[in-house]
Amino acid sequence: MLNELFTPSVQHALDIVGIFVFAISGALLAVRKNFDVFGIAVLAEVTALGGGIFRDVMIGAVPPAAFTDLGYFLTPLIAAGLVFFLHPHVERIQVGVNVFDAAGLGLFCVAGTVKAYEYGLGLTSSAALGLATAVGGGVLRDVLANEVPSLLRWDRDLYAVPAIVGAVMVVLCIRFETLNAYTSGAAALAAFVLRLLAMRFHWRAPRAWNRRSARAEENAAVI
């Protein structure tokens, strides 16, 4: 189904771009955490490939594409090398990196959902794995860096929600037999635009209703 949207060569190129920008975000976090060159490379690889590897293992597409395509494996290392030597300059174009990251989010949530469905999963499970494909690498990155995963933090702009929207649009198209090049592209575009809007206007998910303030919680803990 997804192959109708792009030719294999174009699809591969888009995958590489998505992997590259995800790897940049992982490598930048490693620099901020004062990791050495090995740590930077590991965080870049995990961020870029973690979600796709998890999806492929869960659906039985083994060995995962990350281990059968040398380009997938080498791209994060190139990103790690650029950040290692040029991280002050990369930090300056963080806005541009975020835009490409949003594009990768949209592409990967759609690609992950379609691939899971093509391997026989139901609609709900396919959407869940589409989400995991898009955000799984970021979760692993934050865990390895000893941070609360970004998609669980209330003070971060919406990240998982755009991926959920894209994945749900795909499974609805599958359900009503309307998935094609245009609807796949629309789902990826919706996730991309929603993520950009969340970054622009700092949209965040609501917290628990009538929750106590952080100060009240701290006082209660002291007592």
* pTM over 0.75, yes/no: yes
Whole-number pLDDT of residue 213: 55
Question: What is the band of 117 on the pLDDT scale with cuts at 50, 70, 90?
Answer: very high
**Number of Cβ within a 10 Å radius of residue 115:** 22
Closest Cα to residue 98, out of 217, 197, 219?
197
- Amino acid in position 60: G
Q: Of 45-59, 85-99, 106-120, 182-196, where does mean pLDDT reach its minimum? A: 85-99
Separation between Cα atoms, residue 192 and residue 219, nearest integer Å: 41
DSSP-derived secondary structure for 22-53: HHHHHHHHHHHTT--HHHHHHHHHHHHHHHHH
Contact predicate 138/25, CB 8 Å? yes
State pLDDT tens for residues 147-156: 999 888 888 8
Separation between Cα atoms, residue 77 and residue 59, nearest integer Å: 26
Percent of the chain with pLDDT over 70: 91
State pLDDT tens for residues 28-70: 889 989 999 999 999 999 999 999 999 999 999 999 989 999 9
Separation between Cα atoms, residue 26 and residue 42, nearest integer Å: 9
* Radius of gyration of the chain from its Cα atoms, rounded to whole angstroms: 18
Contact predicate 137/51, CB 8 Å? yes
Contact predicate 102/195, CB 8 Å? yes
Give the start-to-end residue ranges of the domains of the chain.
Answer: 2-206
Q: What is the residue-averaged pLDDT of the chain?
A: 87
